[in-house]
Amino acid sequence: MLSELDAMLDKLCATEPAALADGQSIEALHRALARLEAVATRATAAFDASREWEADGAASSSSWLAATCHLPQPAARRCVRLGRGLRHLPVAEQAWVDGDIGAAQVSALAGARTPSAEEAMARDEEMLVGFARRLRFSAFSRAVAYWRHYADPDGTEKEAGDQREGRRLHMSQGFNGTWLGDFVLDPIAGAIVHKALSRIEDELFEADWAEARSRLGDAAGVADLARTPAQRRADSLAEMARRAGVAPADGRRPEPLFTVLVGYETLAGRICELANGTVVSPDSLVEWLDQAWVERVVFDGASRVIDVGVASRLFTGATRRAVEVRDRQCFHQYCELPAERCQIDHVQPWAAGGPTVAVNGRPACAFHNRNRHRRT
């Protein structure tokens, strides 16, 4: 049977890439890839159970796999583990074999099936696989994270506690005077640092871009920027430290840290996530509450935020937040930039009489905002 597959693959390999370079073919190829990976993973699990690998003197099926198929040890272990997990996920297995979902979705489901969530998974697998089929991966991951909060609240709170416990930052000076470091932050502290850093990074990116333009005109491309992204990040960190030094002690915190959505749960289920979309456990918010800025957004329908309607050309303040909170990311189908890093765009343009109210707003990243105006 595998020789037939080989013959098919030979044909495909002999095909010019250009002949397959259309959307439909790409989608079909990736679906075939997923199906093949499902079959290979399933077979690996059966091989693992057969203990046939013992005959070769291997200590485990994954070390056999790593040696025979030249896989990195962690990849081999992942494959065996996923194959084992598949036995308890019959709906996901079928969807994977059909090519409707891929290894990433199946891994997420297998990871969510912790011992205390086994029963809930058996009950909800159909629903979760439905999400996996329909949603793009980031939205699916978020759905699984929320599901885990319901199915295994103790487990997720414990995990959040472990994440917080595991926080660390090391910085040390090397022999030649340079500084080295690494760190691990829990989701909330990490989001705070990342946001501050990204904002400065965006400023430096604009500055680099302006400099490249002034040097090379319109021909300037990303490769002409004076700094690499890593260098820009390093400079952003130093700049953040400099700014911390001049920030007044009684300075106003720049924006709300937490948003409380009133009347939204009934429409969309429980929401407990950061503006960047990371789902966090309710307990992990508690310690922030005495120092946090909390804002309240009141919904009275799936996409209707009770507006603060101001005759203003720009979406600012509460109106801007209403759109951010409702839509979460850039409006464009192929884009996932978080709304907090987007501009808020008028659906019906301001110039055409479109009002600056939440119902007429949508997040648009700089790229998709520009594109839209080019077309219209």
In the complex, which residue's CB is closest to Zn ion? 335
**Among 80-88, 146-154, 164-172, 326-334, which window interacts with Zn ion (CB under 5 A)?**
326-334
Query: Is residue 151 within 8 Å of residue 117, measured between CB atoms?
Result: yes
Question: In the complex with Zn ion, which residue's Cβ is closer, 102 or 363?
Answer: 363
Give yes or no for residue 330 binding Zn ion (CB under 5 A).
Answer: yes
* Cβ at position 295, least distance to Zn ion in Å: 24
**Among 74-82, 92-100, 120-128, 365-373, which window interacts with Zn ion (CB under 5 A)?**
365-373
Give yes or no for residue 341 binding Zn ion (CB under 5 A).
Answer: no
Interface mask (CB under 5 A) for Zn ion, residues 62-91, using x and -?
------------------------------
Counting residues that bind Zn ion (by CB under 5 A) gives: 5
Residue among 266, 274, 306 at smallest CA distance from 292: 274
Structure tokens at 279: 């789902």
Question: Across the strands, what pairs with 258?
Answer: 294
Give yes or no for residue 344 binding Zn ion (CB under 5 A).
Answer: no
Give yes or no for residue 332 binding Zn ion (CB under 5 A).
Answer: yes
* Cβ at position 218, least distance to Zn ion in Å: 22
CB atoms inside a 10 Å sphere around CB 318:
16
Q: How far is CA 369 from the centre of its chain?
A: 22
What does the alpha-carbon distance between residue 325 and residue 348 come to, in Å, rounded to a whole number? Answer: 20
**Among 6-14, 41-49, 270-278, 330-338, which window interacts with Zn ion (CB under 5 A)?**
330-338
Question: In the complex with Zn ion, which residue's Cβ is closer, 38 or 365?
Answer: 365
Q: Which of 335, 354, 366, 372 binds Zn ion (CB under 5 A)?
A: 335
Query: Is residue 364 within 8 Å of residue 342, measured between CB atoms?
Result: yes
Question: In the complex with Zn ion, which residue's Cβ is closer, 178 or 333?
Answer: 333
**Among 79-87, 146-154, 317-325, 363-371, which window interacts with Zn ion (CB under 5 A)?**
363-371
CB atoms inside a 10 Å sphere around CB 43:
11
Query: Is residue 297 within 8 Å of residue 303, measured between CB atoms?
Result: no
Q: Dump strand ranges (E) for 191-280.
A: 258-262
Alpha helices in 15-59 (DSSP H): 23-50
Residue among 49, 96, 44 at smallest CA distance from 71: 44
* Cβ at position 367, least distance to Zn ion in Å: 5
**Among 5-13, 135-143, 349-357, 360-368, which window interacts with Zn ion (CB under 5 A)?**
360-368
Give yes or no for residue 326 binding Zn ion (CB under 5 A).
Answer: no
What does the alpha-carbon distance between residue 77 and residue 142 come to, in Å, rounded to a whole number? Answer: 26
CB atoms inside a 10 Å sphere around CB 25:
13
Residues that bind Zn ion in the complex, under the rule CB under 5 A: 330, 332, 335, 365, 368
